[in-house]
Amino acid sequence: MTTTTNNKEEALILREQDVVPLRNRVKEYGVKIGMSILNQTKLITATSELVRNLLKYGGGGKVIIESVSNGRDNGVRVTFIDNGPGIADIDLAMKDGYSTGKSLGLGLPGTKRLVNEFDIKSELGNGTTVTITKWKNG
Amino acid sequence: MQNNVLGVLKEHENKLLTIWSQILQDSGSGDGAMEEEESKEFASLFLSALAKSDEKNEQSQEFEKVEDLIVGISSSRGKRGFSPRENAQYLLSFKEAASQILSELIKDPAQLYEANLKFSAILDNLMIMTFESFMKGREDVIARQVDEISEISTPVIAVWEGIVALPIIGTLDSSRTQTVMENLLQQIVDTGSSIAILDISGVPAVDSLVAQHLIKTVSATRLMGAECIISGIRPEIAQTVVHLGIDLTGITTKASLASALQTAFDMLQLSVVKRRKIVD
């Protein structure tokens, strides 16, 4: 299935103060396509999780917000790109309760449950890229 | 004279002031008496500094005074609410006025060019300083507001004897959680309360970090011998927390502050009853 991008923007995330404006931008994208409050909340919570990871483990990076469409449904896709140390074992990182920091260890697996599409690519020493998509009716 | 061509501007100070204030008026960025005084002081100090300096020591002590003055003027203009454009216009129009006079005084194009170039270099340096101090003036305002916001954003309310409530509005980050926790724990001691209600109606999203902070706050409250109720859990927040897999089962949670208060009354064995109407 092909998806088309309608609208796109990039944001640099370098400090904790950048989190709230980014979350608001993502929310605006959701509101624009008429996403329900529940899906909006899921999307911004997922964004919030990943952007915190980006800052904490990746040392900051770039976030791309896109408004996408697959012909039947509209959605919002958010891509998080960092140039941090990368993740050694993705399968382990995706496990509930596993954390190299002192957090609850729910960020990555929890985020996957909150969105419709979840893709993670990581290479040791070359950073991590996470892409999530939330469909309006997903 | 040849060496210090810019010094002659001092002799035309009044004319320069007139042209300058005219340009400022025309551009609509003047603001009357206070500005006139500032301008007069600046022009006089700047032109004296020019007259005294020669090619070699442009960074003389005289200029330091000018720099201090212009920094003061622009940061006060920033606080008085001038836009950056108006602030830039202030010195730019001074430059314009001065080059008008210079072109009247010096007829030889080569000399005029050189004089203008030199004058521009000095003034551009001052311009940069104005920008910096203007920004600093604005940043001071922002910093003060940030302080004020964080101070007013965590009020602890004594709702009943033995019950304190703390409404949280906005995002809970690490530093904020610290303030919230300190305030809450201190209030529990000060008021001798046994029940604390944390209301999160105003928190836009509860992610795992926020949840972790909430759990820590609840644990700390319990260590102080008080019970903590979290209220204001909206339906979408509840579903998101479940999907994320956060375990809040050990914590008493309520949908609204009203039901949290009811629970608190129950715990304290208090009851609210409707007064019966007395009928004859």
Residue B51 has pLDDT above 70, yes or no: yes
User: Which is more confidently placed, B92 or A101?
Assistant: B92
**Weakest mean pLDDT among B32-36, B137-141, B175-179, B264-268:** B32-36
Burial B123-145 (b: 16+ CB within 10 A, else e): beebbebbeebbeebeeeeeeee
pLDDT digits (tens, 9 = 90+) for B123-136: 888 888 888 887 88
Output the pLDDT for position B1.
40
pTM of this prediction exceeds 0.90: no
Q: Tell me whether residue B102 is exposed, middle or buried, using C-beta atoms within 10 angstroms of its C-beta: 0 to 12, 13 to 18, 19 or more.
A: buried
> pLDDT band at B2, cuts 50/70/90?
very low
Other CB atoms within 10 A of residue B173 CB: 16
- How far apart, in whole angstroms, are the C-alpha atoms of residue B42 and residue B37? 9
Output the pLDDT for position A93.
83
Residue B118 has pLDDT above 90, yes or no: no
Output the pLDDT for position B229.
93
ipTM over 0.85: no
Output the pLDDT for position A47.
93
Domain B157-267 CATH superfamily: STAS domain (3.30.750.24)
Q: Check if B212 contacts A (Cβ < 8 Å).
A: yes
> pLDDT band at B259, cuts 50/70/90?
very high
Residue B57 has pLDDT above 60, yes or no: no
pLDDT digits (tens, 9 = 90+) for B196-230: 999 998 888 888 888 888 888 899 999 989 999 99
Q: Which CATH number fits the domain that encloses residue A20?
A: 3.30.565.10
The tokens for A25 are 């931008």
Q: Which of B229, B250, B226, B246 is nearest to B238 (CA)?
A: B246
Domain ranges of chain B: 5-149, 157-267
Range of the domain at A16: 4-135
User: Which is more confidently placed, B180 or A2?
Assistant: B180
Output the pLDDT for position B32.
62
Dihedral angle computed from the Cα positions of residues A35, A39, A42 and A46, in that order, rounded to the nearest 10 degrees? -50
Mean pLDDT across the stretch B255-271? 92
Count of domains observed in chain A: 1
How far is the alpha carbon of A138 from chain B, nearest alpha carbon, in Å?
14
How far is the alpha carbon of B85 from chain A, nearest alpha carbon, in Å?
26
Task: Count how many pairs of residues, chain A against chain B, have C-beta atoms within 8 Å.
Answer: 64
Residues lower than pLDDT 50 in chain A? none
Output the pLDDT for position B253.
93
Output the pLDDT for position B183.
85
Output the pLDDT for position B33.
62
Output the pLDDT for position B250.
85
Q: Give the pairing type, strands A127-135 and A74-82.
A: antiparallel
- How far apart, in whole angstroms, are the C-alpha atoms of residue B232 and residue B279? 40
Type of residue numbered A103: S
Output the pLDDT for position B232.
92
DSSP character at residue B187:
H
Note the CATH number of domain B5-149: 1.10.490
- Residues of chain B neighbouring A113 (CB-CB closer than 8 A): 243-245
Mean pLDDT across the stretch B238-250? 88
Residue B58 has pLDDT above 60, yes or no: no
Output the pLDDT for position B258.
93
Q: Check if B173 contacts A (Cβ < 8 Å).
A: yes
Structural contact between residues A7 and A26, judged by C-beta atoms closer than 8 angstroms:
no
Chain A positions contacting chain B at CB under 8 Å are: 16, 19-20, 23, 37-38, 40-42, 44-45, 48-49, 52, 96, 103-104, 106-107, 109-111, 113-114
How far is the alpha carbon of A19 from chain B, nearest alpha carbon, in Å?
10
Above pLDDT 90, what percent of chain B?
A: 17
